[in-house]
Amino acid sequence: MTSLAQLFFDAAALGGIYAMAALGIALIFGVMNLVNFAHGEYIAFCVFALIVPSTDAAAVMFLGKAPALLLIPLILTIGALVAMASEYVVFRHMRKASPVAMMISSFALGFIIQNALLAVYGGRPKAISLWPELNTPIDIAGASVPLLQLIVILTTLAVVTGLAALLRKTRIGLEMRAAAENFTMARLLGVRANVVITGAFALSGALAAAVALIMVTQTGVADVRMGGHIMLVAFIATVIGGLGSLPGAVAAGFLIGAASVLLQAFLPLDARPFRDAFLYTLVIVSLLVRPQGLFVPNSAKPRV
Amino acid sequence: MMNKHARTRLLAYSTPLILSAILLALVVAVTLFGDKALARMAAETLIRVVLVVGLWIFAGNSGVISFGHAGYMAIGAYCSAWLTLKPQMKALFLPDLPAWLAGAEWPMLPAALASGGLAALVALLSGAAILRLTGIAASIASFAFLAIVNTVYSNWEGVTGATSSVVGLERYVDQWVALAWAVAAIVVANVYANSGSGLALRATREDEIAARASGIDMYRHRLLSLVISGFFTGVSGALLGHYIGVLNPDNFYLGITFISLAMLVVGGIGSLSGAVTGVLALSILIELLVRGEQGVGIGAATFALPGGTQEIAIGVVMILVLILRPSGLTGGREFRLARPAWPKPAPRNQIKTN
């Protein structure tokens, strides 16, 4: 029987990954009302940047060979660059488009990235072993917790506090918050639109890269489709948390992680394969109770 | 002497005539002059017309993008398989079906209607929840619905065959069957869009708040359009199943969602003509690219496009259309016999846009 402490660490670690992915989506939504369907593909891109491009079944490390101190900043930078490039190539030309049009084009962009990866790396999932020693369990409070889970929890806390500090204390953070509140007004008051949006994309891409590193270490697999599921959960977290609300996205990410772990632990065996179906049904129910999400930002109220 | 308004509404009914005539001409031409492969391509294109017109009935009129329609397709496709497969096959591959379903051996047309009906019922139930949300939140909830359907159908071993495919569906769908359903979908879509409910729904698309202030019950009209839309989407799923002969839950997931949205957006989401135009334009593009991927012989050398070109090219076309011509190839206008003088003179070459 799994102990309570074990469940807690599982939930916190899974929730942490979801929260980081959700933050990446909420950041961009807050600034430019774009629901970025390409976010999951940023994650997959960063994973595949670790290995040598080939369609062979065995993965050969490429960037992944670098020592961690070098690798982490490198991958974060790659994530940020991919996100900034997608903004520059696609979304910069859609500043006046409706949120729906931008959402569809991000969906198309995600599809392009995914198929490009498929063409280069082939469709079969590949085994990668990145930092395998992080999966060795250690004993805390009666639970055996892989070191990685602790790292994930601590990283999430660090990212959230770091982001909060960035948003509150720096000029670009202030501009981002102003843009999230009311973009037109912020521009009139001298906020540099392109800088803010590019900054948001860079942060979002770096978050995607962090999620990618964690997922690779945890699962040991590189799969072109690996971003899809986590992106869907992240979307749902941003909607449950209240579209555009960053604390809401984090809280909802943890909430979904917890719900997922609890369902896995307490559903009858026959029903376990359907866990995700139960999870998404819970999500729709929670949206029925609070259609605006748990935390409603001021900017979400329509102005007439 | 009719007044201008009545004349406009009457003219609106010429749209399905023109669209059906185009599709009929296409099928006749393919049947007379084309080979078997071309006839199959025409059938597939017409199934996509049923799907995209079905999607348009909801998304085009309400302005809410739905990512969940592939789910209704899956429901329709599997329902038709349950009703029409040979009982011996079902006992073998789908052992957990209830007895009355396991013994069922329905004719094709009632099975297709029942598939649409089941999809419409699910649309009613899921829509009752999802459509309480508005705008982008509703779109994301519809995505969650798609994930629910996919999870259930990929794991319900004894009833859907899970990820091992269901085989042996009778492949009765040719270009004429698909044409009949495409015309039916177009006519119903046009009648709905010009009905009181359809006009009310389009008012909410243009301005939600103003429409509400005018006493329009947005929820009710959205739900009605989703039910009609779910019916034709379910039928398109059944048709696709009986066209390929094999069902797999992943046939009805992100790939088809992407293609159907791309067709809708490229053609122009604002009009029924746009939906049909988008299907025809992208189907031709897909066919060319597929042939390109297979390789084109020029002289002694064979040139082949790398695999995946098809999806990438469609994605690029979709983004370009969204950037350069956001309202699609048709610009949200309908093909009509003649336009009323108001609001502006007829643009040139309207019908030639495809």
- Interval B51-65: pLDDT, tens: 999 999 999 999 899
Run of H or E including B247: strand B246-247
Contact B307 A111 (CB under 8 A): no
Whether residue B197 lies inside any domain: the answer is yes
The vertex-A225 CA angle with A131 and A207, nearest 5°, equals 55
How much is the average pLDDT of B169-174?
Answer: 86
CA distances from B39 to A117, B42, B174 (A): 33, 5, 8
> Using CB atoms, which residue from A90, A98, A235 is nearest to B319?
A90
- Measured in angstroms, the CA of A100 and the nearest CA of chain B are apart by 7
Out of A13-27, A57-71, A84-98, pick the least confident. Answer: A57-71
Whether residue B330 lies inside any domain: the answer is no
The domains located in chain A, with CATH, are 4-300 (1.10.3470)
Burial of B214 (0-12, 13-18, 19+ CB in 10 A): exposed
How much is the average pLDDT of A189-204?
Answer: 89
Among A195, A200, A187, A210, CA closest to A71 = A210
Q: What is residue B352's predicted lDDT score, i.e. its pLDDT?
A: 40
Whether residue B87 lies inside any domain: the answer is yes
CA distances from B86 to A13, A195, B154, B240, B340 (A): 49, 63, 22, 18, 54
Q: Does B181 touch chain A (CB under 8 A)?
A: no
Q: What is the DSSP string of B163-211?
A: TSPEE-------HHHHHHHHHHHHHHHHHHHTSHHHHHHHHHHH-HHHH
CB contacts of B262 in chain A (<8 Å) are: 108
CB contacts of B151 in chain A (<8 Å) are: 273-274, 276-277, 280
Higher pLDDT, A191 or A62: A191
> Using CB atoms, which residue from B129, B262, B308 is nearest to A115?
B308
Whether residue B309 lies inside any domain: the answer is no
Among A222, A228, A226, CA closest to A125 = A222
**Interval A51-87: pLDDT, tens:** 877 666 666 777 667 777 788 888 899 999 999 999 9
* Neighbour-count burial for A18-55, b at 16+ CB within 10 Å, e otherwise: bbbbbbbbbbbbbbbbbbbbbbbbbbbbbbbbbbeeee
- Measured in angstroms, the CA of B23 and the nearest CA of chain A are apart by 27
* Neighbour-count burial for B22-50, b at 16+ CB within 10 Å, e otherwise: bbeebbeebeeebeeeebbbbbbbbbbbb
CATH for B239: 1.10.3470
Q: Does B182 touch chain A (CB under 8 A)?
A: no
Going by pLDDT thresholds of 50, 70 and 90, the confidence category of residue A1 is very low
- Measured in angstroms, the CA of B249 and the nearest CA of chain A are apart by 14
Whether residue B111 lies inside any domain: the answer is yes
Q: What is residue B125's predicted lDDT score, i.e. its pLDDT?
A: 93
The vertex-B264 CA angle with B253 and B339, nearest 5°, equals 160
Query: CA A130 to CA A75: how far, in whole Å?
Result: 13
Bond before B343 cis per omega within 30 degrees? yes
Q: What is residue A201's predicted lDDT score, i.e. its pLDDT?
A: 93
Domain count along chain B: 1
- Measured in angstroms, the CA of A283 and the nearest CA of chain B are apart by 8
Going by pLDDT thresholds of 50, 70 and 90, the confidence category of residue B302 is low
Domain range holding B140? 10-253
- Please give the radius of gyration of chain B, using alpha carbons only, rounded to the nearest integer: 21
Whether residue B37 lies inside any domain: the answer is yes
Among A191, A164, A195, CA closest to A178 = A191
Tokens of B344: 């502006």
CB contacts of B205 in chain A (<8 Å) are: none
CB contacts of B146 in chain A (<8 Å) are: none
Residue B139 C-alpha from the chain's centroid = 17
With CA atoms as reference, the chain A residue closest to B259 would be A108
CB contacts of B289 in chain A (<8 Å) are: none
CB contacts of A242 in chain B (<8 Å) are: none
What is the interface size between A and B, counted as CB pairs within 8 Å? 124
Instruction: Indicate if the pLDDT at residue A197 is higher than 60.
Output: yes
Burial of A71 (0-12, 13-18, 19+ CB in 10 A): middle
Whether residue B187 lies inside any domain: the answer is yes
Query: CA B228 to CA B225: how far, in whole Å?
Result: 5
Computed over every residue of chain B, the mean pLDDT equals 86
> Using CB atoms, which residue from B129, B136, B144 is nearest to A243?
B136
Whether residue B285 lies inside any domain: the answer is no
CB contacts of B211 in chain A (<8 Å) are: none
How much is the average pLDDT of B133-149?
Answer: 87
> Using CB atoms, which residue from B65, B140, B261 is nearest to A236?
B140
Contact A103 B136 (CB under 8 A): yes
Query: CA A94 to CA B179: how far, in whole Å?
Result: 37
Give the ipTM: 0.83
> Using CB atoms, which residue from B129, B262, B307 is nearest to A284?
B129
Contact A276 B139 (CB under 8 A): no
How much is the average pLDDT of A192-207?
Answer: 90
Mutate to test the interface with B, among A86, A276, A299 (most CBs of B within 10 A): A276
Contact B151 A112 (CB under 8 A): no
Contact B322 A287 (CB under 8 A): no
Q: Does B258 touch chain A (CB under 8 A)?
A: yes
